[in-house]
Amino acid sequence: MLTLVGLGLQDYRDITFRGYEAVKNAEEVYLDTYTSRISSSIEDLQRFFGKRIIEAKRNDLEEGSRKIIEKAKEKDVVILVPGDPTIATTHIALVLEARKANVETKIINNASIINAVCSLTGLQNYRFGKSATISWYRSKAFIETIYANLSIDAHTLLFLDLNPPMTIKDAVNRILELDSSFKDYFAVGIARAGSEDAVVKCDRLRELAHFSFGDPLHSLVILSKKLHVIEYECLTYFASAPEELRDLVL
């Protein structure tokens, strides 16, 4: 059996009792270090669970996933995933491969960056459109996602590349290179979502490039052109939004 266990947002204390039990009963435990990170090291996790934990890198989870799936035919295998195991395509694809190979699978959910972003900003989950990733080298598709979401008055959550970690400043520059008309759009920068020292700041995109967010990981939300009044008030209280954001309130 292959069980994917979400670790939640911050450190090992964010695992659920159900997830903890699955780890304790597992015969082999991996930690996904490819799709995201939490602040506990593999050593912290080994101490907490009292178990050896094997690092699983990109190849172990993607092209080379057959190895883990083969083991899960014989043994109870757990893969620990920072955040929730349903956000990255990697994990869904892995579960699908396992099911094709007749391996029983289970997912133990946890909070993901998406929950953290709503908590930190006060933006309403149901008003988000599709999300996208801004990566260093690959596609410019994210800009099309922003356009699409704006066309239906939805916010866009942008994940920033992790390898190496992209900052909000880098992301703003990439957006403005592709479409400089975004410079006056309101957005929210979020640093270290889910950690004790998270930083959240709402401002026009061009201003966010100059704000000190500190260390990665960073994320960015491009706001819809219309805000619910509670969203506006939350951004004022939680993200020091400028007064003029009020013009967006429905």
Instruction: Please report, as ranges, the residues that interact with a copy of itself according to CB under 8 A.
Output: 6, 8-10, 12-18, 20-21, 84-87, 89, 92-93, 95-96, 99-100, 107, 109-112, 114-116, 118-119, 122, 124-133, 148-149, 151-154, 194, 230, 233-234, 237-238
Q: What whole-number distance in Å separates Cα of residue 22 and Cα of residue 5?
A: 8
Give the nearer residue to a copy of itself in terms of CB position, either 113 or 209: 113
CB atoms within 10 A of CB 216: 17
Alpha-carbon distance of 149 to 132, in angstroms, equals 11
CB of 25 to a copy of itself, least distance (A): 13
Of 53 and 88, which CB lies nearer to a copy of itself in the complex structure?
88
Tell me whether residue 189 or residue 194 sits nearer to a copy of itself (CB atom): 194
Cis peptide before 227 (omega within 30 of 0): no
- Please name which of 179, 223, 181 lies closest in space to residue 200, comparing C-alpha atoms: 223
| 118/209 with CB nearer a copy of itself | 118
Identify residue 131 by its one-letter amino acid code.
S
| Smallest gap from residue 145 Cβ to a copy of itself (A) | 8
CA 38 to mean position of chain CA atoms: 11
Q: Which is nearer to a copy of itself, 117 or 209 (CB)?
A: 117
How long is the chain?
A: 250
On whether the CB atoms of residues 51 and 29 are closer than 8 A, the answer is yes
- How far apart are the C-alpha atoms of 76 and 228, rounded to whole Å? 47
